[in-house]
Structure 1
């Protein structure tokens, strides 16, 4: 997908530049899993940062270029806020955003970072003890050069978030040039106390190893690599990225873990998704997908779980993987929590992989905003 993105170096704090569904309902509220103890968290790579085993992606918050049918209004704002609060109430406290999400320069109504920062502030006003782990990302735009550009962008992100530091800062994608400087900038951010851990996103095995080695020279672990990973998009298993993460002790953060809603069973050949996703998940593709969707639903019935919870559990069961599905509503956030606290059997995991392997991955799968 060709997208033209421009991000200003200025900080716009306070600027409001701001399924026929057939699926099984989640189990009764008393059976919902919540994350309450430290043992329910995982370390990101070799860092000391612990996050919940499942996070929430905030790509859609404020966005009008890919999500929300090209419009953002007060109703969607309230829904996003409810998604945030329900996530925290369910014990999911790891949120991932980026400076380009919802950016007014990429057809956004309001920056996702600004929204997340506001939600956190309002929550802390009610409960000062609440702890939220924030991950955001640096956009490796062609005109951004050197390590200082990383620090400048990070400080602007902190301004929009209303925070003095974030838990995880990531390079959103490899730059056309200047990557060594970007890695140095990540290291500087750690040493200056602006972040607790650093990671990359959309990095190949080779680039991942190089970044790992460069940071290691400064005694700084590379905590994560955030990539597109789901039951029907298993490229990280095939291109060496997942194996390299496991070898080096780098956590794989999986974005689009439910394939942008397609694995939930929400969409059918007769009722495909709207907007840009309609060009990716065509009726022809959805027809080929139905046997897998049907089996996912059957497994869900056996566990009294939804299809969404099954596919997220499949990812968590791979080990060293933290999925970050996007939540636009409280209902979605509550459903995601039900992916935790149980596990598919090894036989079920392999059966789903085998069924999915018969489906050619979508070539046009968007790499977020790249």
Structure 2
């Protein structure tokens, strides 16, 4: 469906509510991020994922500005309608999309998501006329469980529109979308599954452990620092495999989800992350290595579910 093995995420860009400064403790400038975009585009990584909710639109603004130097046909844009930030007008989905288009300096988005499942019956039908107007090329749903995915697909299909993508939290530390049959459903129905938080906000990069916690008082530090002591064995195995394959530790986590037949969204904030991400595309872990990582992750018994996530139970 989508001609890419990986998407590049921009949740950690921008500032303000749900922005990179509050969630991750980042303070990234346009100049910082232009170098990231230029490196990615030069390396053939041109699928960009953002959302109006990230930093109250500031992530979209930064991404849109960084991409103005490139032809629109040379990159793929993915952004989102977030129900809890919907306006009170007659067409809240269209209104939020219009704001995204303006910030992204474009007349269409290649992939538009319903960001969570609050009101499947209400919001899903509003996507259909926007597709038919050419403002949206493909439709996806994010943070939906299997029942909600099936219902959204029914609504879209009744209006002559396909559900092309599902985006959920999925990583070595959170495999609910696999356990509840969502991955299988997507694979059986030609729907691309895009996992986010593949690196668990940096926990699975090998840069942090019980002795090297996240600094500051960001949301990330508050959530993950208490979990780090439980991840020693998993991180040790990832470091071992990274040494074996001569890659970054983060590449192990990325390769694992790619080998699950998914298209991960990898957050990028620094230029050297682009080279790491590209290496992960050609890394092939053995079946035994995949199972060993999963077993150690299970033994950690950590819960990394986000406050915004709903149950993935059927």
Common fold by TM > 0.5: yes
Task: Tell me how far 1:76 sits from its aligned partner.
Answer: 3.2
Q: Give yes or no for contact 1:136–1:168 (8 Å, CA) kept in 2.
A: yes
What is the number of equivalent residue pairs in this alignment? 305
CA distance in 2, matches of 1:247, 1:366: 30
Q: 1:315 aligns with which of 257, 268, 272?
A: 257
User: Which residue is 1:140 aligned to?
Assistant: 83
Structure with greater proportional helix content: 2
Higher RCO (C-alpha 8 Å, min separation 6): 1
Task: Tell me how far 1:253 sits from its aligned partner.
Answer: 0.8
CA distance in 1, matches of 2:239, 2:297: 14
Q: 2:186 aligns with which of 245, 250, 254?
A: 245
SS in structure 2 at match of 1:254: strand
Which runs of 4 or more aligned residues in structure 1 lie more than 4 Å from their structure 2 counterparts after TM superposition? 69-73, 142-147
CA distance in 1, matches of 2:250, 2:8: 14
User: Which residue is 1:97 aligned to?
Assistant: 50
User: Which residue is 2:139 aligned to?
Assistant: 198
User: Which residue is 1:291 aligned to?
Assistant: 233
Cα 1:129–1:121 change in 2 (3 A) is: closer
- Residue by residue over 1:40-95, the C-alpha shift from the partner in whole angstroms, topping out at 9 and shown as x without a partner, is xxx1xxxxxx242101101111134553368776x633222211111111211110
Cα 1:146–1:64 change in 2 (3 A) is: closer
User: Which residue is 1:76 aligned to?
Assistant: 29
When normalised by structure 2's length, the TM-score is 0.90
Q: How is 1:173-322 mapped onto 2 (pairs within 5 angstroms)?
A: 173-175=116-118, 177=119, 179-274=120-215, 275-283=218-226, 285-319=227-261, 321-322=262-263
CA distance in 2, matches of 1:142, 1:159: 17
Cα 1:291–1:63 change in 2 (3 A) is: same
SS in structure 1 at match of 2:55: coil
User: Which residue is 2:10 aligned to?
Assistant: 58
When normalised by structure 1's length, the TM-score is 0.77
CA RMSD of aligned residues (A): 2.2
Task: Tell me how far 1:339 sits from its aligned partner.
Answer: 0.7
Unaligned runs of 5+ in 1: 1-42, 44-49, 104-109
Q: How is 1:26-175 mapped onto 2 (pairs within 5 angstroms)?
A: 43=1, 50-65=2-17, 67-68=20-21, 76-103=29-56, 111-122=58-69, 124=70, 128=71, 131-141=74-84, 144=87, 148-175=91-118
